[in-house]
Amino acid sequence: MQHKARKRFGQNFLIDSQIIERIVATIAPNPKDNFIEIGPGKGALTLPLLENLEAMKVIEIDRDLIALLKSKNHQNLSIIEADALKFDFDQLEEKVRVVGNLPYNISSPLLFHLLGHRNKIIDMTFMLQKEVVDRIVAPHGSKTYGRLSVMMQAFFEVELMFNVPKESFDPQPKIESAIIYLKPRVDTALAESALLEKVVKIAFSQRRKTLRNCLKSILSQQQTDIDLSQRAEMLSVDEFINLTKDYAKQN
Ligand code: SAM
């Protein structure tokens, strides 16, 4: 069955067997692991993973690709026909390991969606645009450090595993990709992400301004020990967490 790649679904299919092997080795599946793959496509990662697993779930939005996967008749593959952005991971009975070569056009909203369901997640291994991975793992003080870095690092341990060249895909994307590993932090000092998200969003709304300026509608220097004469990019993730706690005390 021929399938023409659909841009609106961010379809860039992996065709490089060495890279596929390396991703599967990085994921290191154990037969009893409970996996869910987002966007299996034609099965480039799904099939080698299935070889190592008793069973696996996938979520795919493209009906043609769903038909293609179904036609392969894999008994131990359950196919969920859904938009991963709307999928309620909390409905899963057990915690899952999540994997995927994610559709680039929705990678950030998808990461935020998964953040909301982190209690159901054991770990996540994703292919993303290299630029997005760089932003997620960026240390404070760097230019790429921003909202995505703080939100992901507050709730996950994050690690850039390796880069993937454009030539590994068909069709070839315009930009480089990378594999990232994320594991929910057990030591997170915040139970809930909404307030942190609010503070971080306002703090980074005008990167050139000081925190005092950006945050003046919600918090003053008298209400926190964090030095608000700095710019948002200078604040570590733990400082953002403390700032959020100081903000919460005001409400
Ligand atoms: N895993 C395959 C591979 O590596 O060759 C395909 C990866 S391709 C970059 C992204 C996949 O995600 C496509 O199969 C696409 O149809 C699917 N997809 C796009 N948007 C989706 C969504 N909102 N929910 C679920 N799957 C989606």
Residues 43-100 have pLDDT tens digits of 999 999 999 999 999 999 999 999 999 999 999 999 999 999 999 999 999 999 999 9
Q: How far is CA 43 from CA 9, 80, 88, 193, in A?
A: 15, 14, 23, 33
Last residue of a domain, one of 152, 184, 216: 184
pLDDT-derived band at 190, boundaries 50, 70, 90: confident
pTM for this prediction? 0.96
pLDDT, mean of residues 177-196: 91
Q: What is the mean pLDDT of the chain?
A: 96
Q: Determine what percent of the chain is predicted with pLDDT higher than 90.
A: 92
- pLDDT on residue 4: 87
Whether 32 is covered by a domain: the verdict is yes
Domain shared by 107 and 78, yes or no: yes
- CA–centroid distance, residue 106 to ligand 1 (Å): 10
* 3 state SS of 76: coil
Amino acid at 6: R
- Residue 191's contacts (CB-CB under 8 Å, 6 or more residues apart) are none
Instruction: Give, for ligand 1, the residue of 4, 8, 9 to mutate: max count of ligand atoms closer than 8 Å to Cβ.
Output: 9
- With a Cβ cut-off of 6 Å, ligand 1 is lined by 9-14, 38-41, 44-45, 59-62, 65, 83-85, 101, 103, 106
Whether 189 is covered by a domain: the verdict is no
Q: Of the given ranges (6-10, 20-24, 37-41, 122-126), which has the lowest mean pLDDT?
A: 6-10
Whether 127 is covered by a domain: the verdict is yes
- pLDDT on residue 1: 61
Domain count, the chain: 2
Last residue of a domain, one of 159, 184, 209: 184
- CA–centroid distance, residue 42 to ligand 1 (Å): 9
Pairing status of strand 96-101 against strand 35-38:
parallel
Whether 2 is covered by a domain: the verdict is no
Atom of ligand 1 minimally distant from the CA of 103: 10
Q: Strands, DSSP E only, in the chain?
A: 13-14, 35-38, 56-60, 77-81, 96-101, 121-129, 156-164, 169-170, 177-184
Domain range for 65: 7-184
Domain shared by 145 and 231, yes or no: no
Last residue of a domain, one of 157, 184, 211: 184
Whether 47 is covered by a domain: the verdict is yes
